[in-house]
Structure 1
Amino acid sequence: MASTAIKPITGMLRRNLILDIGLALGVGFAFGNAYWYGYHMPRTNKRDNYYKKLEDERAARTQV
Protein backbone atom coordinates (compact mmCIF):
# COMPACT_ATOMS: atom_id res chain seq x y z
CA MET A 1 0.00 0.00 0.00
CA ALA A 2 1.59 3.23 -1.19
CA SER A 3 0.14 6.03 0.92
CA THR A 4 1.63 9.49 1.14
CA ALA A 5 3.05 10.87 4.34
CA ILE A 6 0.96 14.04 4.06
CA LYS A 7 -2.79 14.03 3.56
CA PRO A 8 -4.29 16.22 0.85
CA ILE A 9 -5.32 19.73 1.90
CA THR A 10 -9.13 19.79 2.16
CA GLY A 11 -11.98 21.49 3.97
CA MET A 12 -11.20 23.72 6.92
CA LEU A 13 -7.44 23.59 6.43
CA ARG A 14 -7.80 24.76 2.82
CA ARG A 15 -10.06 27.65 3.88
CA ASN A 16 -7.62 28.73 6.60
CA LEU A 17 -4.69 28.43 4.22
CA ILE A 18 -6.39 30.66 1.64
CA LEU A 19 -7.35 33.16 4.35
CA ASP A 20 -3.81 33.23 5.76
CA ILE A 21 -2.22 33.72 2.35
CA GLY A 22 -4.75 36.43 1.42
CA LEU A 23 -4.18 38.29 4.69
CA ALA A 24 -0.41 38.01 4.38
CA LEU A 25 -0.45 39.42 0.85
CA GLY A 26 -2.89 42.19 1.78
CA VAL A 27 -1.00 43.27 4.90
CA GLY A 28 2.31 43.01 3.07
CA PHE A 29 1.00 45.19 0.24
CA ALA A 30 -0.37 47.75 2.71
CA PHE A 31 2.87 48.00 4.68
CA GLY A 32 4.89 48.09 1.47
CA ASN A 33 2.86 51.06 0.24
CA ALA A 34 3.14 52.77 3.62
CA TYR A 35 6.93 52.43 3.50
CA TRP A 36 7.21 53.47 -0.16
CA TYR A 37 4.97 56.53 -0.05
CA GLY A 38 5.39 57.45 3.62
CA TYR A 39 9.18 57.12 3.97
CA HIS A 40 11.03 56.30 0.76
CA MET A 41 9.51 58.81 -1.67
CA PRO A 42 9.61 61.86 0.67
CA ARG A 43 13.21 61.07 1.55
CA THR A 44 14.14 60.61 -2.12
CA ASN A 45 12.42 63.85 -3.10
CA LYS A 46 14.19 65.72 -0.32
CA ARG A 47 17.56 64.36 -1.51
CA ASP A 48 16.81 65.20 -5.14
CA ASN A 49 15.75 68.74 -4.23
CA TYR A 50 18.96 69.22 -2.26
CA TYR A 51 21.16 68.14 -5.16
CA LYS A 52 19.10 70.27 -7.59
CA LYS A 53 19.68 73.29 -5.34
CA LEU A 54 23.42 72.57 -5.28
CA GLU A 55 23.48 72.20 -9.07
CA ASP A 56 21.57 75.47 -9.53
CA GLU A 57 24.01 77.28 -7.23
CA ARG A 58 26.98 75.83 -9.11
CA ALA A 59 25.47 76.82 -12.45
CA ALA A 60 24.83 80.38 -11.16
CA ARG A 61 28.48 80.70 -10.04
CA THR A 62 29.91 79.49 -13.35
CA GLN A 63 27.74 81.89 -15.43
CA VAL A 64 28.98 85.01 -13.60
Structure 2
Amino acid sequence: MAIAPITGMLRRGLITDLSIALGLGFAFANAFWYGYHVPRTNARDSYYRKLEEQRAARQGA
Protein backbone atom coordinates (compact mmCIF):
# COMPACT_ATOMS: atom_id res chain seq x y z
CA MET A 1 0.00 0.00 0.00
CA ALA A 2 1.62 3.22 -1.21
CA ILE A 3 -0.71 5.64 0.57
CA ALA A 4 -1.56 5.20 4.22
CA PRO A 5 -5.27 5.08 4.97
CA ILE A 6 -6.79 8.16 6.52
CA THR A 7 -8.21 7.11 9.86
CA GLY A 8 -9.38 9.45 12.55
CA MET A 9 -8.36 12.55 10.62
CA LEU A 10 -11.93 13.55 9.73
CA ARG A 11 -13.17 13.14 13.28
CA ARG A 12 -10.20 15.01 14.74
CA GLY A 13 -10.60 17.83 12.22
CA LEU A 14 -14.32 18.05 12.87
CA ILE A 15 -13.80 18.26 16.62
CA THR A 16 -11.09 20.89 16.16
CA ASP A 17 -13.24 22.96 13.79
CA LEU A 18 -16.27 22.81 16.08
CA SER A 19 -14.20 23.68 19.13
CA ILE A 20 -12.65 26.69 17.42
CA ALA A 21 -15.99 27.84 15.99
CA LEU A 22 -17.83 27.55 19.30
CA GLY A 23 -14.98 29.16 21.23
CA LEU A 24 -14.73 32.12 18.87
CA GLY A 25 -18.50 32.44 18.71
CA PHE A 26 -18.72 32.54 22.49
CA ALA A 27 -15.87 35.05 22.72
CA PHE A 28 -17.36 37.41 20.12
CA ALA A 29 -20.85 37.08 21.61
CA ASN A 30 -19.50 38.10 25.01
CA ALA A 31 -17.55 40.97 23.46
CA PHE A 32 -20.71 42.23 21.78
CA TRP A 33 -22.91 41.74 24.84
CA TYR A 34 -20.65 43.34 27.44
CA GLY A 35 -18.81 45.74 25.12
CA TYR A 36 -21.78 47.18 23.21
CA HIS A 37 -25.21 45.97 24.33
CA VAL A 38 -24.96 46.42 28.10
CA PRO A 39 -23.37 49.91 27.98
CA ARG A 40 -25.93 51.11 25.42
CA THR A 41 -28.79 49.68 27.49
CA ASN A 42 -27.49 51.40 30.61
CA ALA A 43 -27.11 54.69 28.73
CA ARG A 44 -30.67 54.41 27.38
CA ASP A 45 -32.08 53.58 30.80
CA SER A 46 -30.27 56.47 32.48
CA TYR A 47 -31.51 58.86 29.76
CA TYR A 48 -35.13 57.83 30.28
CA ARG A 49 -34.66 57.91 34.07
CA LYS A 50 -33.40 61.51 33.78
CA LEU A 51 -36.37 62.45 31.56
CA GLU A 52 -38.79 60.90 34.04
CA GLU A 53 -37.17 62.78 36.93
CA GLN A 54 -37.46 66.05 34.99
CA ARG A 55 -41.12 65.36 34.21
CA ALA A 56 -41.85 64.54 37.84
CA ALA A 57 -40.07 67.70 39.00
CA ARG A 58 -42.12 69.84 36.56
CA GLN A 59 -45.41 68.30 37.67
CA GLY A 60 -44.51 68.50 41.36
CA ALA A 61 -43.54 72.18 41.16
Match of 2:59 in 1: 62
- In 2, Cα distance between the equivalents of 1:26 and 1:59? 47
Q: Matched residue of 2:11: which SS?
A: helix
Aligned residues: 55
Q: Give the alignment's TM-score, normalised by structure 2.
A: 0.87
RMSD, matched Cα: 0.8
Structure 1: stretches of 5+ with no match in the other structure: 1-9
1:36 aligns with 2:36: no
Identical-residue share of aligned pairs (%) = 69
Match of 1:53 in 2: 50
User: How far does residue 56 in structure 1 lie from its aligned partner after superposition?
Assistant: 0.3
Structure 2: stretches of 5+ with no match in the other structure: 1-6
- Runs (4+) of structure 1 exceeding 2 A deviation are none
User: How far does residue 14 in structure 1 lie from its aligned partner after superposition?
Assistant: 0.2
Q: Give the alignment's TM-score, normalised by structure 1.
A: 0.83
